[in-house]
Amino acid sequence: MTSVLQTLSQDMAATVEAAGPAVVRVEGRRRVPATGVVWSADGLIVTAHHVLSRDERITVGLPDGSTRPAALVGRDPSTDLAVLRADGGGLTPAAWASGDGPGVGQLVLALGRPGRSVQATLGIVSALGESWRTPAGGQIDRYLQTDVVMYPGFSGGPLVDASGQVLGLNTSALLRGISVTVPAATVRAVADALLAHGHIRRGYLGVGAQPVRLPEALAGQIGQETGLLIASVEPGSPADAGGLMLGDTIVALDGHPVHHMDDLLALLGGDRAGKAVPVRVVRGGQVQDVTVTIGERA
């Protein structure tokens, strides 16, 4: 038994040593510094949005003890991710995991560098789930929760598996009272979008709505039982300009059924911003299509 524990201990220490060079300190707020992960050798770093209370005067602390100024490339509050560009190159990028990812019960390590040296805490994957939408409207590829203790300054740091590959970025800001990990696939997609545009493009309709059950005859006609009743239309919004009205019930957008608000938000992706799409509504008991040019949320 002793040899098994010694081997496990040595393996965990080796994992931290292997992953540590890609973990940096991020100083972008007044209180405890946070953590970031090197995205590319030329100075790109991914971290958590909420640990950056300012857009300027950001510095990163490197594993060798040196510090460098960094500029904000972009941030996405809805997924709590941000990308920085540190001056100079020569950084050690992290090895990001691909494929199916971990299973429940798998050992994982959360790494942080709120000080000069790397810190680690051990735990297991406690829950996995399907893709989910954050309270701020961001789309996360997979729900990933662990029982690792998130010490102050660990947000923005990596969750690594036993081989030292980064499974995602840890954050304590997406769900109240729960630390979750933004999976590598989501980090990759958001980072690519921020590097391309400086922000995440999201469509904007400009309605307040609530789900309602459709009359039985109408439900049978269109093949769905619920839709979204428009309770408000913002003046000057794409919905207003397109002719959507208070009391309309949205049942489809661009040919895709809409049952709940999450359905509508999922369909208002950046790829539809600026495009004219048909919005199918029930108005006065009749089904009709209204063409609306989707806006882009600032």
- Supply the pTM of this predicted model: 0.81
**pLDDT of 7 over the 80 cut:** yes
> Residue 275: its pLDDT value, please?
94
Which pLDDT tens digit goes with each residue over 22-50? 999 999 998 899 999 999 999 999 999 99
Q: Which of 78, 155, 172, 179 is catalytic?
A: 155
- The 8-class DSSP code of residue 41 comes to T
CB 125 within 8 A of CB 144: yes
What's the pLDDT tens digit per position in 90-106? 999 999 998 777 899 99
Per-residue pLDDT tens over the stretch 13-25 = 999 999 999 999 9
The arithmetic mean of pLDDT across residues 283-291, rounded, is 94
Residue 139 pLDDT grade (very low, low, confident, very high; cuts 50, 70, 90)? confident
Could you report the per-residue pLDDT of 165-208, keeping only the tens digit for each?
999 999 999 988 888 999 999 999 999 999 998 888 888 999 99
Ordered domains of the chain (ranges, CATH): 1-200 (2.40.10.120), 203-296 (2.30.42.10)
Strand 44-47 and strand 34-38: pairing?
Answer: antiparallel
Q: What pLDDT does residue 1 have?
A: 60
Q: Active site includes 259?
A: no
3-state DSSP call for residue 281?
strand
The yes-or-no verdict on residue 220 having pLDDT over 80 is yes
Among the listed residues 50, 76, 78, 179, the single catalytic one is: 50
Place of tokens 């490339």: 73
Is 155 catalytic? The answer is yes
pLDDT at 295: 93
Known catalytic residue: 98? no
Percent of the chain with pLDDT over 70: 99
Residue 140, beta-bridge partner list: 132
**Whole-number average pLDDT of the chain:** 93
Which residue has better confidence, 111 or 219? 111
pLDDT at 87 > cutoff 70: yes
Cβ burial of 133 (10 Å; 0-12, 13-18, 19+) is: middle
Q: What is the mean pLDDT of residues 286-296?
A: 94
C-alpha dihedral, 102 to 104 to 109 to 113, nearest 10°: 80
